[in-house]
Amino acid sequence: MEVRERLEEAIDYVCLEALVRERRTRGLPPPAADSDADRREYTRHVQAFLVLLEHDLAGALGADDRRKLSAANGAGDEPARLMSVQVALARKLPDYWQRFDDARARYLAEPAASGREGRSLLARLFGRG
């Protein structure tokens, strides 16, 4: 559970940063917590970043471990599956956080941005907020 919470916070930071930067670049106001459109845009960033992480980090596993990871995380909706994959990778790869930081830097180098409020929006999206 601790790994998952740490991941949610890190992903929340990256995706909010990306959202704020993107909006700033387009000359739009910062995202609003009560806006469904902003929530959808944030969720799009979460999905895109999780897919990028899975692509980048699963490649560090051997073929056997990749098969096990796919089999173990095949159920559930896509956001939950993607998060489960990251929890498994964080537990499996000794250099997970360094790889995460590399992916974060690349993702944020593209149009993106920041913001933070209390409880993780990602945790709220997954029903724990």
Condensed to tens digits (0 to 9), the pLDDT of residues 70-80 reads: 766 655 688 88
At 5 the pLDDT is: 93
At 116 the pLDDT is: 37
Do the beta carbons of residue 18 and residue 108 sit within 8 Å?
yes
Among 9-13, 33-37, 102-106, 125-129, the range scoring the smallest mean pLDDT is 125-129
Mind listing the pLDDT tens digit for each residue in 61-114? 777 777 777 766 655 688 888 898 899 899 888 999 999 999 999 999 974 433
Instruction: Report d(CA 65, CA 43) in Å as an integer.
Output: 28
Query: Would the pTM count as exceeding 0.85?
Result: no
- With left for phi above 0 and alpha for psi between -120 and 50, is residue 118 left, alpha or beta? left
Q: Cα dihedral angle (12, 18, 19, 23), rounded to 10 degrees?
A: 160
